[in-house]
Chain A
Amino acid sequence: NAGVIQTPRHKVTGKGQEATLWCEPISGHSAVFWYRQTIVQGLEFLTYFRNQAPIDDSGMPKERFSAQMPNQSHSTLKIQSTQPQDSAVYLCASSFSGGASQNTLYFGAGTRLSVL
């Protein structure tokens, strides 16, 4: 089991460019979560899918950010017109189910986005 795979590990974009981040959850896991990590804010929840359906996107910035899960084997986080304040480590996690309080999140190593 390779764990949660995130690609790329590092991405550098110019201000105003688009960035797409990829996540492959652990096979058999039904829930996928996206978090953003910065020194100032710590780990911030962005959005969550269960069985590929969007469940909670309350942490997503209303503009420029979108997430999809077209199939059970991958999810994408897209940031349009990137800004320097979007620079962060973006973490994807999966779990067996998002509905039970005992479930454990398995995180990928993250994608470090740097917006110049």
Chain B
Amino acid sequence: GDSVTQTEGPVTLSEGTSLTVNCSYETKQYPTLFWYVQYPGEGPQLLFKVPKANEKGSNRGFEATYNKEATSFHLQKASVQESDSAVYYCSPLASSSFSKLVFGQGTSLSVVP
């Protein structure tokens, strides 16, 4: 079945530094790729999604490029803020999968002043 491997957390960064969260996936089908973010006390929410290979998604300063050849979808941000402290989940949804999103373990990020 589908699987996802993410950067193992927790990750602690200082405000203003850059972030990279690695995401590698395995799926038999050509997927849409999602990044979700979960803030404390809330459910996950969509950060952005990319349905096509070699395209880039972005939102709130975060971005990721769908690399079909490398089966990767690494999340990046040039300058993190304290408000970015959250858990980040990468997820592929295979185009033929009419059911569930499979999530990675999630990467917990803490940004300190």
**Bound: A33/B46 CA distance, A:** 15
A79 located at the interface, meaning its Cβ lies under 8 Å from any Cβ of chain B in the complex:
no
Chain B interface mostly: loop
Asked whether B41 lies within 8 Å of A109 as measured between CB atoms, the reply is: yes
Q: What 0/1 pattern do residues 54 to 85 of A give for CB contact below 8 A with B? A: 01100100000000000000000000000000
Q: How far is the CB of A106 from chain B (nearest CB, A)?
A: 8
Count of interface residues, chain A, beta-carbon cutoff 8 Å: 25
Decide: A55 near B49, CB < 8 A? Known: A93-B43, A110-B43: no
Please report which residues of chain A, range 41-57, place their CB below 8 angstroms from some CB of chain B when the two chains form the complex: 42-43, 45, 48, 50, 55-56
Q: What 0/1 pattern do residues 5 to 22 of A give for CB contact below 8 A with B? A: 000000000000000000
Asked whether A101 lies within 8 Å of B104 as measured between CB atoms, the reply is: no
Asked whether A33 lies within 8 Å of B51 as measured between CB atoms, the reply is: no
Q: How many A-B residue pairs have CB under 8 A?
A: 59
Q: In the complex, which residues of chain A have a beta carbon less than 8 angstroms from the beta carbon of B34?
A: 104
Asked whether B97 lies within 8 Å of A101 as measured between CB atoms, the reply is: yes
Q: In the complex, which residues of chain A have a beta carbon less than 8 angstroms from the beta carbon of B45?
A: 106-107
Asked whether A101 lies within 8 Å of B100 as measured between CB atoms, the reply is: no
Q: In the complex, which residues of chain B have a beta carbon less than 8 angstroms from the beta carbon of A107?
A: 42-45
A113 located at the interface, meaning its Cβ lies under 8 Å from any Cβ of chain B in the complex:
no
Contact of A43 among B41, B94, B106 (CB under 8 A): B106
Smallest CB gap from A40: residue in B: B105
Q: In the complex, which residues of chain A have a beta carbon less than 8 angstroms from the beta carbon of B57?
A: none
Smallest CB gap from B98: residue in A: A99
Write 26 A-B pairs (CB below 8 A) sorted by A numbering: A4-B43, A42-B89, A43-B44, A43-B103, A43-B106, A45-B100, A45-B102, A48-B99, A48-B100, A50-B98, A55-B98, A55-B99, A56-B100, A91-B44, A98-B98, A101-B94, A102-B32, A102-B49, A103-B93, A105-B46, A105-B101, A107-B42, A107-B44, A107-B45, A109-B41, A110-B43
Q: A33-B101, A105-B101 are in contact. List 15 more A-B contacts (CB 8 A).
A: A4-B43, A35-B103, A42-B89, A43-B44, A43-B103, A45-B99, A45-B102, A56-B100, A59-B100, A98-B98, A98-B99, A101-B51, A101-B94, A101-B97, A102-B32
